[in-house]
Chains A and B, each alone.
Chain A
């Protein structure tokens, strides 16, 4: 079943074509990775899926219902995490989780917060101000916020950027387990190719607003005769435009 279906999605900013009529679907319990160089349209695509950017043309269907930018209800089943978006620094971890729980109208909020504290190992710094946490701790809190509403669709923008290998591995393992347990769909934008190879079920390669290739990570590696996804990425982004 398609959780997200994108049809001929296009975004023009004045004279710049940021996203050029792209099409893709994300199925239930699937992780789709968006790969591409800076400025290729990944953030704009995520922005349109989250209702932060109005498309110039095209359609987005969430759970087979066309996304209505005037009605924010679709955001109840989605959530988003990025190291570039932070939670209020002066508030404690617990206060932040309570606030976002209320914002998503979570029933049994206390139990939900306790469960996230347990799952993501937040107990030792629960009453610390979020701004005083290490990058790894902030990342886990941000992840907890993004799971507060038990989202059916999780959008992650470089979820392990700036994390040490151990914490990065912890986050990836947690996401793998969470997806399996909760049967959710994930859209992942990342520049970490080993992360994409490990987490994604399907990869979309973007360049200059277009999808230039797509497939399973291993299929793309074999198709392009390379050893890993990073080499595929480099080949595709350095190729002359033939699409």
Chain B
């Protein structure tokens, strides 16, 4: 893998974002709106619920982390869709860019796009609601890392679908996270789910990530088992997703869909 070659694709997306205020605004706007919305919901619960002392912190932190996941996955898909929409995709495939370099470029660019959205939203929550996700401390890095891995995994799977089935797969890109959100136990514990659904939810890294987020915020202690388990599951899913991504490329080359993908 050649970092310089891969960085050319990152540079392409940097130029795109830099040249378009609506794109920068879009990256920042949605996470900020999400945080403000959930901030008020959390405030309402704080005033009228005695379930948690710090219910606002729990809900708002979960909202910020979920948005980080959502952004990282959608960013990944958007970067690939931008190439299809601009009819540039064939130019990339006929260049010496390797698949691993495309994956690296999309993964790195998606992180930058996600951080552009997350950082302002997380900072706004501090003065507005007195809640900081940075209170999660060092484990926050591991939780974000784990969420990012899962976002990239979903992004890879959707992109594999785009390569194999073309732009018609675009709707799945938008819906993918909504399908998985109920099983992710973002705002509630796993026990809330019907008993037969719980093993499925526990098979996803999300349930462990959000379980641990609540644990840190409510009990002020860190259970690293949850974090390690989430990372372990993530690595398994990521490996599967990379393998599917490679296979979808090979399949698209066999059935000729790669040459028509931009049309």
Spell out A's residues near B (CB within 8 Å). 11, 13, 18, 43-44, 47, 50-54, 69, 72-73, 75-76, 78-80, 82, 84-92, 95, 98-105, 129, 145
Say whether B263 faces chain A, with CB atoms less than 8 Å apart: yes
In the complex, how many angstroms separate the beta carbon of A236 from the nearest chain B beta carbon?
25
Say whether B171 faces chain A, with CB atoms less than 8 Å apart: no
B9 & A103 in contact (Cβ 8 Å cutoff): yes
Q: Among A52, A80, A99, A100, which residue has its beta carbon within 8 angstroms of that of B258?
A: A52
> Would you list the 3 A-B pairs with minimal beta carbon distance, nearest first?
A102-B8, A103-B8, A86-B87
User: Which residues on A sit within 8 Å (CB–CB) of B2?
Assistant: 105
Task: List 15 other contacts, CB 8 Å, given A90-B20, A103-B9.
Answer: A11-B256, A13-B256, A50-B93, A50-B94, A75-B95, A75-B96, A80-B90, A80-B94, A85-B87, A88-B16, A90-B19, A91-B19, A100-B8, A102-B7, A103-B5
A85 & B91 in contact (Cβ 8 Å cutoff): yes
* Contacts A54-B253, A102-B8; A87 near B91 (Cβ below 8 A): yes
B4 & A102 in contact (Cβ 8 Å cutoff): yes
Say whether B15 faces chain A, with CB atoms less than 8 Å apart: yes
Classify the interface of chain B: helix, strand, loop or mixed.
helix
A13 to B259, CA, bound (A): 13
A73 & B96 in contact (Cβ 8 Å cutoff): yes
B148-204 residues with Cβ-Cβ distance < 8 A to A are: none
User: Which residues on A sit within 8 Å (CB–CB) of B5?
Assistant: 102-105
User: Which residues on A sit within 8 Å (CB–CB) of B253?
Assistant: 51-54, 69
A72 to B92, CA, bound (A): 12
Q: How large is the interface on B (under 10, 10 to 19, 20 to 34, 35 or more residues)?
A: 35 or more
In the complex, how many angstroms separate the beta carbon of A60 from the nearest chain B beta carbon?
14
In the complex, how many angstroms separate the beta carbon of A48 from the nearest chain B beta carbon?
9
B64-99 residues with Cβ-Cβ distance < 8 A to A are: 82-83, 86-88, 90-98
Most chain A beta-carbon contacts within 10 A, residue among B7, B93, B256: B256
A53 to B16, CA, bound (A): 30
A129 & B256 in contact (Cβ 8 Å cutoff): no
User: Which residues on A sit within 8 Å (CB–CB) of B41?
Assistant: none
* Contacts A51-B94, A52-B94, A86-B87; A99 near B8 (Cβ below 8 A): yes
Q: Among B20, B82, B96, which residue has its beta carbon within 8 angstroms of that of A104?
A: B96
A84 & B263 in contact (Cβ 8 Å cutoff): yes
A60 to B121, CA, bound (A): 54
A72 to B263, CA, bound (A): 24
A85 & B262 in contact (Cβ 8 Å cutoff): yes
In the complex, how many angstroms separate the beta carbon of A109 from the nearest chain B beta carbon?
10
A104 to B95, CA, bound (A): 7
In the complex, how many angstroms separate the beta carbon of A153 from the nearest chain B beta carbon?
11
A213 to B82, CA, bound (A): 42
* Contacts A51-B94, A72-B97, A105-B2; A95 near B15 (Cβ below 8 A): yes
B240-262 residues with Cβ-Cβ distance < 8 A to A are: 250, 253-256, 258-259, 262
Most chain B beta-carbon contacts within 10 A, residue among A52, A73, A76, A92: A52
A50 to B93, CA, bound (A): 9
Looking across the interface, which residue of chain A has its beta carbon closest to that of B82? A88
B12 & A88 in contact (Cβ 8 Å cutoff): yes
In the complex, how many angstroms separate the beta carbon of A79 from the nearest chain B beta carbon?
7
